[in-house]
Amino acid sequence: MMIIGSLALELHLPTVHSLKEKRAVIKSIIARLSNEFNAAVAEVAEQDIWQRAVIGVACVGSQQRYVEGQLNAIVRWVEENRPDVVILDVTSELL
């Protein structure tokens, strides 16, 4: 059986004052999450707003517990490693 997990992280970037700064922050987060968790990661919404971003994450596994654990670990990683980012909302789904 294949389990697909998706996660949307709505972020507030209080220290960002331009789209160029935002791109640097988001690009860094996307690269780290992709490398650390072997997941597909992309900015999926709010691309034109300086201090807001929505990052989408997808991961696949054969066990529901594993996929849920990965998604939870991704949220924890952002909370613990990116003090410059505030998580406003988290939406996850398993298929």
pTM of the full predicted structure? 0.90
At 45-79, the pLDDT tens digits run 988 899 999 999 999 999 999 999 999 999 999 99
Please enumerate, as own/partner, the contacts of 47-52 that have beta carbons within 8 Å and a separation of 24 or more. 48/19, 50/13, 50/16, 50/17, 50/18, 50/19, 50/21, 50/22, 51/12, 51/13, 51/14, 51/16, 51/22, 52/10, 52/11, 52/12, 52/13
Q: What is the pLDDT of residue 35?
A: 95
Domains and CATH numbers, the chain: 3-94 (3.30.70.1120)
